C-alpha cells in the first residue's frame, strides 16, 4: 500500500522545492515527500545549461544542472522521498493533496504542512494581442530553450526577440552560438527587465541590437513566420505611426515576463498579492492558510536562483518548526509598497516570530542616487542610500527584530531620488 | 468508385458525410488542408443561435430553427460539449427596445420558442456584469453554445468509424464528368471517382463549382476577429450577449464558451480569401464593443486572439442548398455563413433526404452507430475509472499539458483515432493540449515528440498546422 500521510508535502522539485526539503529536514522534520511532475528533479534549471548560477551562494559559476545537482545530492544524502512524474491536480486549505502519476494513478495524500514550490511560467504571445498571423515559428524564449538545450533542435535561423527578460537575453546568445542570426531584441519599456550582466554578455558581446521603447506590431507569414513589423512606442506604450521597421525572420521569441503558477494556490482559497501574483506571506513564508508555506518563483519571480534557495530555506525551516510546535498566536503588522515601489515581500510581519527580516522589493522605474526608506507612520525605521535601482533587479533591505517590535502599525517601503 | 464525394471538411461537409453513412452508400470526403475543421468551422463564435435574426422564409431562418432543435441530440451522440445557456440581445436606447420587438416578432414567425423582452432589473439579475447603460434585452432561452471544431472532427471521425473515407491534403484541382461518373483530381495527382459531388467547400465553393463547369456560385469573404479570455474569468457572463444587429451582421458578442472561457468578438470586415490575420484595429473594435456591453471586462486575462472568415453568397445573401442547374449530380451547400454552425445537422439531413435521394436509393445502413466517445473524456472519469485506465495504460497517468491537465494517453489516442491528428494544432483541437493559459509553452515540445514517435516521423518533420508549418529547422550543434 502506498503511504498516504506525510508531515510535510513539498509541491515542486525545482530549486525551491529541493532547498525547502533540505532545510525542513535539517530543521528536524523527517516525514517529508517532494512531488515533481517531470521525470527528474531540478525544474527549469535542467534546461539552463549556461553558467552564472551560484555566484552568490557558492562563490563559483555553475550551470543550471550543476546547481541543481548540489541540492539533489543533499536531498539524497538525507534520504528524502521524491515522487517523480507526479502532477498535483488539486490542493485544499486542509492540506489534502490530489495527484496523478503513471505508477500510482490518481491518489490523495494528507499533509500536516505543505510547501508550495511550483515555480512560474512565461507569459505567452497570446496575452499581448499582437496583430498578424499565427504561423509556426513563434515561441516563448523558454520553449525555444527547451528545444535547443534538451531536445537538441534549432527552432529557427533568423530570429527577432520581443522582450528583454533574462531568458530572452540568454536565448539571444544561445541562438547566435547555434548559428542563428538574431536581428533584434525589442523592449517596450525604456529599460530592460533583464540583469545588467546579461545585456552585456548576451547582446553587446555579440553585437545584437537592443531596441528600447519598441514593440512588435505585426507578425507575418502563413505556414511559418516570414517577418515582423517593429514600431517605436510613445510614453503610453502606443505604437507611433511612421516608425515601423520591417525584419525578415523565420522565428519570433517572446520573453515578456514570468507569472507565478498559482492555480493550486488559488483553488485552495489562499490569498494572492496583486504585486507579486504569488501568495501573501509572513516573514517565515507561511501563507494566510495555516501550515501552508510558499517559496521560490511561485511566490515572487526572483532574478537569481541563489535567492530562490535562500527563500526556500526560510520556508523549509518554518515548515519543520510548524510540525514540531504547531500553530502559534500571531501579532501581525502589514507591510506595503509606498512611492516608486511595485511590491514588498513579505506582505505581513508577525511580531511573535523572532529574528531580523530581509524585505524584498522591486521599484517601478530606474532611479539614480536615491534613498530607500522603511517607515512606520512618521517614524523612519531604516534609511539607506543607493546609486542605482532598476525594476529588473530585486532590492532588499534588512529590518532588525528590534525595529519590527518598536513599530506600531503598518510598515511602508519607499524609494525617492535625492535632491 | 464512391457513390458520393463530399468536398470540404468543415462542419457542413462533416455533418453531410456522417448523414450519408446512415445509408448503404460508399462515401468519401476530400479536404485540401492536412486536417479537417481548418476553415470557418475552426474559428467562429460557437453560438447555437435561437433563430430570430434571419427573415421568415429564408433558408437561414428555416435551418437555423431546425438545427437549433437538433443540436442537443446531435452533439450528445457525438460526445461534443453543448450547453443551452440562452442568449440576450442588449438594448441601450428606446430605439433599440423597439428593435427588440421587431426581432421578437420575427423570431415567433420563424418558430423560435420562449422569446421574451425583459427590463433592466431582470437583465442585471441575470447578468451582474452587464453595462449600466443597458436598458433591456431580448431573452432567447433556446440559444446555446457548442465547440465548432470538436463538432466537425467528431462528425467526420464518426463517419469514418462507419466506413467512410477521408482524404486530407487533397485539394480538388480539377473535376471532370464522363458516363455519369465524376473524377475529382487533386493537385498532388491523387484522384477519386464518384456518382455525386456535394460541394461543401466554404470559401472555395465558388471555385469548386466552376471547376465542375458551374459559374453560378459567387462567394465573398468577411473576416471576424476575436479575443479569448482565460477560464479564470469564466462566469463573467452567463449567457451569450449580443448587441442589436446591423447591416453587417449580428455584431460583437460576449459569451461563455463550452470550455469555460469568455469569448469577445467577432468584427465583420471584407477580407481576402485565405487571410486570417488579426489587426490592431480589429482588436480595438472588439475591446471597445465589449466595454460598451459589460462593466470591467477582464481583458488582463486575455490568452489569445484569432480570426475566422465567413463565406457568404454575393448575390443571394442566403444559404444555397440545391443541385446545380448546370451540372447534374453536383449538389451545392454554399454561402454558409452564420448561422451555418447551428444549421449544420438540419442542412445535412435535408441535403441527403431531399437532394441525394433524387439520384441514389437511400437504403438504411444497419451497422451504422452514431455514438462517439468524447475526445477529452479523461477528466470526466471517476477516480476509480481513471485508475483502471492508468493501470492498463500508464500514459494516462502522465500529465503533458499542465494548464488543461491533458495526459499523454489522450494525446496518443488523438493521434490514432479517426480522423487522425498529425500536427500540434490538430492535437490541440482534439485534446485541448496547448489550449490553456501558457498556450503550449510547456507542452509543445512533448506533444511534438509524441506525434513523431506515434507516427514514426523525425521530430523535425512535425508541423504546427500541416503543410510547410515546420516547428524546427535542424539539429542544434
Ligand atoms: C467569424 C465567424 C463567426 C461565426 N459565428 C457563428 C455562430 O456563432 N453560430 C453559427 O451557427 N455559425 C457561425 N458562423 C458560421 C459558421 O462558422 C459557418 O457557417 C460554418 O462553419 C461553415 O462550415 P462549412 O463547412 O461550410 O465551411 P468551412 O468550415 O470553411 O469548410 C470548408 C472546407 O472546405 C475546404 N476546401 C475548400 N476548397 C477546397 C478544395 N478545392 N478541395 C478540397 N477542400 C476544399 C476548406 O479547406 C475547408 O476545410 C460564423 C462564422 C464566422 C467566420
In this predicted model, what pLDDT tens digit does every residue of B96-112 receive, in sequence order?
A: 999 999 999 999 999 99
Q: How far is the alpha carbon of B303 from chain A, nearest alpha carbon, in Å? A: 5
Across the interface, do A102 and B394 touch by the CB < 8 Å criterion? yes
By alpha-carbon position, which residue is closest to atom 48 of ligand 1? B39
Q: Assess whether pLDDT exceeds 80 at residue B375.
A: no
Binding site membership of B168 for ligand 1 (Cβ less than 6 Å): no
How far, in Å, CA of A371 to CA of B241, rounded? 52
- Examine the residue annotation and report whether B314 is marked as an active-site residue of this protein: no
User: Atom of ligand 1 at shortest distance to CA of B36?
Assistant: 49
- Mean pLDDT of all residues in B422-432: 96
- B-chain CB neighbours of A122 within 8 Å are 438, 441
CB contact at 8 A, A415 and A391? no
Binding site membership of B9 for ligand 1 (Cβ less than 6 Å): yes
> Which of left, alpha, beta for A26 (phi over 0: left; psi -120 to 50: alpha)?
alpha
Question: pTM of whole model > 0.80?
Answer: yes
Nearest to B387 among A85, A105, A157 (CB): A105
Nearest to B397 by CA among A104, A3, A91: A104
Mutation for testing the B interface, residue in A43, A89, A106 having most B CBs under 10 Å: A106
Q: Assess whether pLDDT exceeds 80 at residue A407.
A: no
Give the range among B188-192, B193-197, B269-273 with minimum mean pLDDT: B269-273
Q: Read out DSSP for A73-84?
A: HHHHHTT-EEE-
Q: Assess whether pLDDT exceeds 80 at residue B376.
A: no
- Mean pLDDT of all residues in A286-311: 97
Higher pLDDT, A4 or B251: A4
How far, in Å, CA of B471 to CA of B446, rounded? 12
Nearest CA in chain A to B397: A102
Across the interface, do B438 and A121 touch by the CB < 8 Å criterion? yes
Q: Read out DSSP for A68-108?
A: HHHHHHHHHHTT-EEE-S-EEEEE-TT-EEEEEETTTEEEE
Q: Assess whether pLDDT exceeds 80 at residue B248.
A: no
Cell of B346: 438540419
Q: Assess whether pLDDT exceeds 80 at residue B247.
A: no
How far, in Å, CA of A113 to CA of B296, rounded? 38
Binding site membership of B265 for ligand 1 (Cβ less than 6 Å): no
Q: Return the C-alpha torsion angle B201, B53, B231, B269, nearest 10.
A: 60
pLDDT band of residue B272 (cuts 50, 70, 90) is confident
How far, in Å, CA of A46 to CA of A84, rounded? 15
- For residue B279, the CA-to-ligand 1 centroid distance in Å is 21
Q: What is the DSSP letter of B400?
A: E
**ipTM rounded to 2 decimals:** 0.95
Question: Kind and range of the H or E element at B416?
Answer: helix B408-416
How far, in Å, CA of B239 to CA of B237, rounded? 6
Across the interface, do B305 and A222 touch by the CB < 8 Å criterion? no
Nearest CA in chain B to A135: B469
Nearest CA in chain B to A239: B280
Q: How far is the alpha carbon of B471 from chain A, nearest alpha carbon, in Å? A: 6
Query: Beta strands of B31-143 (E only): which ranges?
Result: 47-48, 82-83, 87-91, 116-119, 136-140
CB contact at 8 A, B184 and B192? yes
- Mean pLDDT of all residues in A150-171: 95
Backbone torsions φ then ψ of A204, nearest 5 degrees: -55, -45
Binding site membership of B50 for ligand 1 (Cβ less than 6 Å): no
Q: Assess whether pLDDT exceeds 90 at residue A135.
A: yes
pLDDT tens-digit series, residues B408-420: 999 999 999 999 9
- Mean pLDDT of all residues in B441-457: 96
Mutation for testing the A interface, residue in B226, B399, B468 having most A CBs under 10 Å: B399
Give the long-range contacts of residues B437-440, CB within 8 A, separation 24 or more.
B437/A121, B437/A124, B437/B230, B437/B231, B437/B232, B437/B303, B437/B403, B438/A121, B438/A122, B438/A124, B438/A140, B438/B402, B438/B403, B439/A124, B439/A125, B439/A126, B439/B303, B439/B304, B440/A124, B440/A143, B440/B401
Across the interface, do A126 and B441 touch by the CB < 8 Å criterion? no
pLDDT of residue B379: 87
- Mean pLDDT of all residues in B361-379: 91
- Mean pLDDT of all residues in B262-275: 90
Question: Kind and range of the H or E element at B401?
Answer: strand B399-401
Task: Please tell me chain B's helix, strand, coil percentages from 3-state DSSP, rounded to the nearest 5.
Answer: 35, 25, 40
User: Atom of ligand 1 at shortest distance to CA of B30?
Assistant: 43
Nearest to A363 by CA among A376, A347, A345, A344: A344
Would you tell me which residues 375-394 of chain B have a C-beta closer than 8 angstroms to some C-beta of chain A?
383, 386-387, 390-391, 394
Residues 6+ apart with CB under 8 A from B178: none
Q: How far is the alpha carbon of B75 from chain A, nearest alpha carbon, in Å? A: 28
Nearest CA in chain B to A219: B277
- Mean pLDDT of all residues in A340-365: 96
Q: Assess whether pLDDT exceeds 80 at residue A7.
A: yes
pLDDT of residue A402: 93
Nearest CA in chain B to A39: B398
pLDDT of residue A194: 87
- Mean pLDDT of all residues in B238-260: 91
- For residue A392, the CA-to-ligand 1 centroid distance in Å is 47
Sequence length of chain A is 419
pLDDT of residue B273: 74
pLDDT tens-digit series, residues B291-313: 999 999 999 999 999 999 999 99
- Mean pLDDT of all residues in A374-402: 94
- Mean pLDDT of all residues in B29-43: 97
| Residue B460, Cβ density class (10 Å: 0-12 exposed, 13-18 middle, ≥19 buried) | middle
Mutation for testing the B interface, residue in A105, A140, A298 having most B CBs under 10 Å: A105
- Chain centroid, CA B463 distance in Å: 22
- For residue B308, the CA-to-ligand 1 centroid distance in Å is 9
- B-chain CB neighbours of A125 within 8 Å are 304, 439
How far, in Å, CA of A326 to CA of A332, rounded? 18
pLDDT tens-digit series, residues A192-230: 888 889 999 999 999 999 999 999 999 999 999 999 999
Across the interface, do B386 and A102 touch by the CB < 8 Å criterion? no
Across the interface, do A124 and B444 touch by the CB < 8 Å criterion? no
User: Atom of ligand 1 at shortest distance to CA of B33?
Assistant: 47
pLDDT band of residue A419 (cuts 50, 70, 90) is confident
- B-chain CB neighbours of A136 within 8 Å are 463-465, 469-471
- For residue B152, the CA-to-ligand 1 centroid distance in Å is 10
How far, in Å, CA of A11 to CA of A157, rounded? 37
- In a 13 Å sphere around the CA of A220, the CA atoms on its Cβ side amount to 9
How far, in Å, CA of A273 to CA of B420, rounded? 44
Q: Assess whether pLDDT exceeds 80 at residue B256.
A: yes
Three-class SS state of B145? strand
Q: Assess whether pLDDT exceeds 90 at residue B437.
A: no
Across the interface, do A136 and B390 touch by the CB < 8 Å criterion? no
pLDDT band of residue B274 (cuts 50, 70, 90) is confident
Cα separation values, A45 from A62, A64, A121, A308, B475, Å:
11, 4, 13, 12, 22
Mutation for testing the B interface, residue in A40, A91, A118, A127 having most B CBs under 10 Å: A127
Domains of chain B as residue ranges with CATH: 84-143+220-313 (3.30.9.10), 378-461 (1.10.10.1100)
In the block, which residue shows the cell 455514438?
B371
- Mean pLDDT of all residues in A53-59: 95
- For residue A314, the CA-to-ligand 1 centroid distance in Å is 57
Sign of the dihedral through C-alpha B255, B257, B262, B267 = negative
CB contact at 8 A, B429 and B154? no
- B-chain CB neighbours of A142 within 8 Å are 441
Nearest to A125 by CA among A265, A205, A228: A228
Mean pLDDT of all residues in chain B?
96
pLDDT of residue A240: 97
Would you tell me which residues 431-460 of chain B have a C-beta closer than 8 angstroms to some C-beta of chain A?
437-442, 444-445, 449, 459-460
- For residue A66, the CA-to-ligand 1 centroid distance in Å is 52
Q: Is B423 on the interface with A (CB under 8 A)?
A: no
End-to-end CA distance of chain B: 51
Q: How far is the alpha carbon of B157 from chain A, nearest alpha carbon, in Å? A: 25
Higher pLDDT, A116 or B232: A116
Binding site membership of B335 for ligand 1 (Cβ less than 6 Å): no
- B-chain CB neighbours of A133 within 8 Å are 276-277
Pick from B38, B39, B87 the residue to mutate for probing ligand 1's pocket: most ligand atoms within 8 Å of its CB. B39
User: Atom of ligand 1 at shortest distance to CA of B8?
Assistant: 34
Exposed e or buried b for every residue in A53-76, given b needs 16+ CB within 10 A?
bbeebeeeebbbbbbbebbbebbe
By alpha-carbon position, which residue is closest to atom 27 of ligand 1? B202
Amino acid at each position: 500500500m502506498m503511504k498516504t500521510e506525510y508531515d510535510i508535502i513539498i509541491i515542486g522539485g525545482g530549486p525551491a522545492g529541493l532547498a525547502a526539503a533540505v532545510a525542513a529536514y535539517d530543521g528536524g522534520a523527517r516525514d517529508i515527500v517532494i512531488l515533481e511532475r517531470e521525470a527528474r528533479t531540478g525544474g527549469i534549471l535542467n534546461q539552463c545549461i549556461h553558467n552564472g548560477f551560484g555566484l552568490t551562494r557558492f562563490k563559483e559559476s555553475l550551470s543550471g544542472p550543476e546547481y541543481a545537482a548540489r541540492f539533489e545530492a543533499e536531498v539524497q544524502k538525507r534520504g528524502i522521498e521524491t515522487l517523480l512524474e507526479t502532477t498535483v491536480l488539486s490542493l485544499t486549505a486542509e492540506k489534502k493533496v490530489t495527484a496523478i502519476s503513471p505508477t500510482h494513478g490518481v491518489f490523495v495524500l494528507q499533509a500536516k504542512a505543505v510547501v508550495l514550490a511550483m515555480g512560474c511560467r512565461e507569459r505567452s504571445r497570446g496575452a499581448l494581442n499582437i496583430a498578424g498571423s499565427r504561423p509556426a515559428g513563434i515561441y516563448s524564449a523558454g520553449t525555444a530553450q527547451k528545444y535547443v538545450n534538451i531536445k537538441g533542435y534549432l527552432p529557427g535561423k533568423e530570429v527577432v526577440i520581443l522582450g528583454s527578460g533574462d531568458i530572452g537575453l540568454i536565448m539571444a546568445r544561445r541562438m547566435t552560438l547555434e548559428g542563428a542570426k538574431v536581428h533584434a531584441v525589442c523592449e517596450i519599456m525604456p529599460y530592460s527587465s533583464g540583469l545588467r550582466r546579461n545585456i552585456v554578455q548576451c547582446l553587446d558581446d555579440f553585437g545584437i541590437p537592443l531596441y528600447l521603447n519598441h514593440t512588435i506590431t505585426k507578425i507575418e507569414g502563413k505556414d511559418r513566420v516570414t517577418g515582423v513589423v517593429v514600431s517605436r512606442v510613445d510614453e503610453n506604450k502606443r505604437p507611433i505611426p511612421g516608425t515601423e521597421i520591417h525584419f525578415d525572420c523565420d522565428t519570433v521569441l517572446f520573453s515578456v515576463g514570468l507569472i507565478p503558477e498559482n492555480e493550486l494556490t488559488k483553488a485552495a482559497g489562499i490569498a494572492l498579492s496583486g504585486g507579486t501574483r504569488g501568495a501573501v506571506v509572513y516573514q517565515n513564508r507561511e501563507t494566510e492558510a495555516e501550515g501552508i508555506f510558499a517559496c521560490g518563483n511561485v511566490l515572487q519571480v526572483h532574478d537569481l536562483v541563489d535567492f530562490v534557495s535562500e527563500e526556500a530555506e526560510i520556508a523549509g525551516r518554518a515548515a519543520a518548526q510548524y510540525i514540531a510546535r504547531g500553530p502559534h498566536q500571531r501579532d501581525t503588522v502589514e507591510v506595503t509598497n509606498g512611492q516608486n515601489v511595485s511590491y514588498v515581500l513579505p506582505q505581513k510581519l508577525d511580531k511573535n516570530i523572532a529574528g531580523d527580516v530581509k524585505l524584498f522589493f522591486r521599484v517601478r522605474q530606474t532611479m539614480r542616487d536615491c534613498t530607500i526608506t522603511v517607515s512606520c507612520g512618521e517614524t523612519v525605521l531604516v534609511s539607506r542610500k543607493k546609486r542605482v535601482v532598476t525594476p529588473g533587479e530585486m532590492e532588499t533591505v534588512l529590518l532588525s527584530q528590534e525595529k519590527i517590535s518598536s513599530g506600531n502599525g503598518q510598515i511602508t517601503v519607499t524609494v525617492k531620488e535625492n535632491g | 468508385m464512391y457513390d458520393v464525394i463530399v468536398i470540404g471538411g468543415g462542419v457542413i461537409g462533416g455533418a453531410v458525410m456522417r448523414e450519408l453513412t446512415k445509408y448503404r452508400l460508399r462515401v468519401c470526403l476530400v479536404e485540401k488542408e492536412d486536417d479537417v475543421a481548418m476553415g470557418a468551422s475552426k474559428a467562429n463564435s460557437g453560438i447555437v443561435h435561437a433563430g430570430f435574426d434571419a427573415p421568415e422564409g429564408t433558408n437561414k431562418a428555416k435551418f437555423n430553427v431546425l438545427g437549433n432543435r437538433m443540436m442537443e441530440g446531435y452533439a450528445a451522440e457525438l460526445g461534443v460539449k453543448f450547453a443551452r445557456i440562452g442568449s440576450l440581445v442588449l438594448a441601450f436606447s428606446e430605439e433599440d427596445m423597439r428593435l427588440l420587438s421587431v426581432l421578437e416578432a420575427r423570431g415567433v414567425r420563424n418558430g423560435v420558442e420562449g422569446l421574451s423582452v425583459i427590463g433592466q432589473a431582470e437583465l442585471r439579475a441575470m447578468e451582474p456584469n452587464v453595462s449600466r447603460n443597458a436598458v433591456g434585452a431580448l431573452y432567447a432561452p433556446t440559444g446555446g453554445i457548442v465547440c465548432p471544431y470538436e463538432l466537425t472532427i467528431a462528425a467526420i471521425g464518426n463517419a469514418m468509424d462507419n466506413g467512410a473515407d477521408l482524404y486530407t491534403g487533397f485539394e480538388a484541382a480539377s473535376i471532370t464528368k464522363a458516363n455519369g461518373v465524376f473524377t475529382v483530381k487533386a493537385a498532388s495527382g491523387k484522384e477519386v471517382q464518384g456518382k455525386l459531388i456535394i460541394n461543401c467547400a466554404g470559401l472555395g465553393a465558388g471555385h469548386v463549382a466552376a471547376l465542375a463547369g458551374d459559374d453560378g456560385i459567387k462567394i465573398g469573404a468577411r473576416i471576424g476577429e476575436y479575443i479569448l479570455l482565460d477560464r479564470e474569468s469564466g462566469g463573467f457572463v452567463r449567457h451569450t450577449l449580443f448587441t442589436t444587429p446591423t447591416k453587417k451582421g449580428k455584431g460583437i458578442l460576449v459569451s461563455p464558451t463550452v470550455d469555460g472561457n469568455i469569448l469577445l468578438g467577432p468584427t465583420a470586415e471584407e477580407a481576402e480569401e485565405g487571410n486570417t490575420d488579426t489587426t490592431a484595429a480589429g482588436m480595438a473594435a472588439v475591446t471597445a464593443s465589449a466595454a460598451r456591453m459589460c462593466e470591467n471586462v477582464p481583458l488582463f486575462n486575455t490568452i489569445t486572439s484569432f480570426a475566422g472568415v465567413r463565406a457568404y453568397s454575393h448575390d443571394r445573401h442566403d444559404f444555397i442548398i440545391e443541385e446545380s442547374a448546370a451540372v447534374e449530380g453536383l449538389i451545392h451547400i454554399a454561402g454558409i455563413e452564420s448561422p451555418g454552425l447551428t444549421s449544420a445537422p438540419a442542412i445535412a439531413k435535408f441535403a441527403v433526404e431531399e437532394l441525394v435521394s433524387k439520384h441514389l436509393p437511400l437504403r438504411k445502413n444497419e451497422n451504422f452507430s452514431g455514438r462517439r466517445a468524447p475526445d477529452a473524456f479523461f477528466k470526466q472519469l471517476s477516480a476509480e475509472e481513471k485508475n483502471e485506465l492508468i493501470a492498463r495504460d500508464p500514459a494516462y497517468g502522465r500529465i503533458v499539458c499542465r494548464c488543461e491537465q491533458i495526459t499523454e494517453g489522450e494525446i496518443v489516442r488523438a493521434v490514432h483515432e479517426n480522423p487522425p491528428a498529425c500536427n500540434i494544432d490538430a492535437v490541440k483541437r482534439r485534446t485541448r493540449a496547448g489550449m490553456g493559459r501558457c498556450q503550449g509553452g510547456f507542452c509543445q515540445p512533448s506533444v511534438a515528440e509524441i506525434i513523431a514517435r506515434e507516427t514514426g516521423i523525425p521530430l523535425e518533420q512535425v508541423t504546427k498546422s500541416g503543410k510547410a508549418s515546420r516547428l524546427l529547422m535542424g539539429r542544434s550543434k
